[in-house]
Amino acid sequence: MPAVNDDVAHLPVLLDRVLELLAPALTGADAVLIDATVGLGGHAEALLEANPSLRLIGLDRDPSALARSGERLAKYGDRVELVHAVYDRMPAVVADLGLSHVDGVLMDLGVSSMQLDRAERGFAYARDAPLDMRMDPSTGPTAADVLNTYSVADLARILRDYGEERFAGRIAKAVVAARAGAPFDRSERLVELLYDTVPAPSRRTGGHPAKRTFQALRIEVNAELEVLRTAVPSAIDLLREGGRIVVESYQSLEDRIVKRAFAAKASSRTPEGLPVELPGHGPELRLLTRGAEKAGERETEHNPRASSVRLRAAEKIGVAA
């Protein structure tokens, strides 16, 4: 395994803005923050440096990422607790550590640079590799399992819903026909099928024809949207009053879930027309960003991953009675 220093190309996205947004919640001597997708530990390291008394709980479903971040964050000793878990398990992890609330939550969503860079993980369509795509390679079905077992209708559904693929039905039929001859096991064969199936005019104007299909398969394999729908409200509930949550999304499906979850908690549930707010029906969140913030041109030039980021943040203003 390469040394952590080899990962200098992994740059935390919108790092200064993340630090700025979380800082007011982390000033206490016993402040606790959950980095729900700790990855290689870039955001976590900066947060620990900026907040000398901070205790950080880092979660990740990828054992390789945990090992790498463990090396990187070892110098912070018992200020860091790393847990192998999917981030929808935040409430259970916090309870296991004897806590009831935390002061901050950071979620940096999507596939990591390390996962993309390792061809054997199968996330990148630019290189031939096994069709795996599991963020935790120790459990669950692979992308090949999905391609080789799903019906035409189910394949079309995930390509349409998770990849926003215009030609979902056509691709699904082509996959099922092709697997009758031999099951799919490597990415190169799938990419070739997509080139043959997606019409040429769309290939010229819509980007790489494999991009949307690979995104859809990755989301399905890792149940990413289901996890996110559960995790965001749970994270908000874990925040103490004055606590803050920052979420970085990298595609519209993720951002839409975050936007709706924040809006629901930032809205009053008192019926319209009543002259006063009903107890326990007021907003629980104050939104800290106007819509979703994007990275600037300078950052995207140095860090291509930042080009698609959408950042949203909110502060807990009360606990419903």
CATH no. for residue 169? 1.10.150.170
Q: Residue 321 domain-assigned?
A: no
Domain ends where: 191, 207, 222?
Answer: 222
Looking at residues 156-170, what average pLDDT do you find?
96
15 and 105 part of one domain: yes
Reported confidence tier of residue 112, pLDDT bands at 50, 70, 90: low
Place of tokens 């947004």: 21
101 known ligand binder: no
195 known ligand binder: no
100 and 234 part of one domain: yes
Domain ends where: 170, 197, 222?
Answer: 222
- Here the CATH number for the domain that contains residue 273 is 3.40.50.150
Give CA–CA dist 71/104, Å, rounded. Answer: 23
42 known ligand binder: yes
Q: Residue 87 domain-assigned?
A: yes
Q: 147 pLDDT exceeds 70?
A: yes
For residue 120, the 8-state DSSP code is: G
Q: 201 pLDDT exceeds 80?
A: no
pLDDT per residue as tens digits for the range 6-20 = 343 468 999 999 999
213 and 141 part of one domain: yes
pLDDT at position 321 is 45
Indicate the pTM of the whole model.
0.89
108 known ligand binder: yes
Looking at residues 71-82, what average pLDDT do you find?
97
pLDDT at position 309 is 95
More confident residue, 66 or 273: 66
Q: Confirm if 43 and 35 have CB atoms less than 8 A apart.
A: yes
109 and 235 part of one domain: yes
87 known ligand binder: yes
Domain total of the chain: 2
10 and 105 part of one domain: yes
Reported confidence tier of residue 22, pLDDT bands at 50, 70, 90: very high
pLDDT at position 269 is 65
229 and 212 part of one domain: no
Looking at residues 237-243, what average pLDDT do you find?
96
115 known ligand binder: yes
70 known ligand binder: no
| Residue ranges making up the domain that contains 196 | 123-222
pLDDT per residue as tens digits for the range 48-65 = 999 999 999 999 999 988
Give CA–CA dist 212/210, Å, rounded. Answer: 6
Rounded to the nearest 5°, which phi and psi values hold at 162? -100, -25
